[in-house]
């Protein structure tokens, strides 16, 4: 069975091209399930597991206080594992074939307001030199393009041209995003400062630390949280909220859903529609004030 897990890891890394963090999360979930089997159900082989045993694991996790969203994520890892076992013909049918995900409450992501964006880009002081120019560009680029945090830190200098940037998204799907003139100017200023760093250890990547190395996802999260804490009292201040803000503000100002979908790199409209609740609220406000029956 260890061979199956090794093969699954190689499949995730080489064929699916998942990040090391994602691969580790999948393997941790499968290991957690395997430990449950060993401690509670006599350690049946993973390729001989039945749904009733998985159901017992779900109940045990619920009894331990795991939230449904966490349980669903662990089951998703297990589904991927059994899908792989079917692919290599180690099992004929996945024991999770008829499993239905547990219901989870929909969390509404509250975007930053246009005023908060204006304040963070124009009203607060940034450090002088390379660090300040880089930090402000990162915030503005998130807001102007809606790219994901992982996409931003993996941008390379060669991905930028005079009118657009090339982004490598989920499942290695490439997309081209137009950039505003104000962003072009900021990029030029940043590249000038970047060229004067004493060391460029990760020369190809666009965004670097003061020591010349590629930024980490945690660094970018802390950066966004730090600057927005000056202008916003929202509980969640993250790169994803900036992505959500990008989409919401476009929709509020008349952009069509399909265009926003393409800019975000979504594979279906269903993914993009989660961003429409704020634009609908704005539309309702305008409708209520403009319609004769609403006055």
Give the active site residues.
148, 170, 240, 243, 266, 275
HEC profile of 21-89: HHHHHHHHHHHHHHHHHHHHCCCCCHHHCCHHHHHHHHHHHHHCCCCHHHHHHHHHHHHHHHHHHHHCC
- Give how far Cα 71 sits from Cα of 28, 48, 93, 194, Å: 13, 21, 22, 44
Q: Structure tokens of 146?
A: 């809606």
Q: How far apart are CA 203 and CA 279, in angstroms?
A: 40
Answer for the pair 84, 27: CB distance below 8 angstroms, yes or no: no
Q: Structure tokens of 8?
A: 């699954």
Sole residue written with tokens 């030029």: 188
Closest to 172 measured CA to CA, from 10, 18, 9: 18
Answer for the pair 132, 121: CB distance below 8 angstroms, yes or no: no
Cα of 292 vs its chain's centroid, Å: 43
The count of other CB atoms within 10 Å of the CB of residue 165 is 23
Give, as one character, the DSSP assignment of residue 171: G
């Amino acid at each position: 069975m260890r061979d199956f897990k090794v093969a699954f890891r190689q499949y995730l890394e080489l064929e699916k091209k998942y990040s090391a963090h994602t691969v580790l999360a999948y393997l941790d979930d499968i290991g957690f399930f395997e430990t449950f089997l060993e401690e509670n159900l006599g350690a049946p082989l993973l390729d001989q597991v039945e749904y009733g045993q998985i159901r017992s694991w779900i109940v045990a996790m619920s009894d331990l206080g795991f939230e449904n969203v966490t349980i669903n994520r662990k089951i998703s890892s297990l589904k991927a594992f059994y899908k792989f076992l079917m692919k290599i013909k180690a099992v004929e049918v996945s024991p999770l074939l008829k499993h239905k995900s547990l219901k989870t409450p929909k969390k509404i992501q509250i975007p930053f307001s246009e005023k908060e964006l204006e304040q963070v880009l124009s009203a607060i002081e940034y450090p002088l030199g390379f660090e300040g120019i880089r930090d402000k560009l990162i915030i503005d680029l998130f807001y102007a393009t809606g790219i994901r945090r992982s996409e931003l830190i993996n941008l390379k200098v060669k991905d930028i041209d005079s009118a657009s940037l090339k982004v490598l998204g989920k499942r290695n799907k490439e997309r081209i995003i137009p950039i505003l003139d104000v962003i072009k100017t900021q990029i030029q200023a940043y590249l000038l400062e970047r060229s004067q760093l004493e060391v460029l250890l990760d020369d190809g990547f666009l965004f670097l630390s003061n020591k010349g190395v590629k930024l980490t996802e945690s660094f970018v999260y802390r950066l966004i949280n730090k600057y927005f804490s000056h202008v916003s009292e929202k509980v969640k201040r993250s790169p994803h909220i900036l992505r959500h803000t990008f989409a919401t503000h476009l929709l509020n100002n008349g952009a069509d859903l399909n265009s926003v979908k393409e800019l975000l790199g979504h594979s279906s409209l269903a993914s993009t529609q989660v961003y429409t609740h704020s634009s609908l609220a704005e539309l309702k406000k305008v409708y209520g004030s403009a319609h004769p029956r609403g006055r």
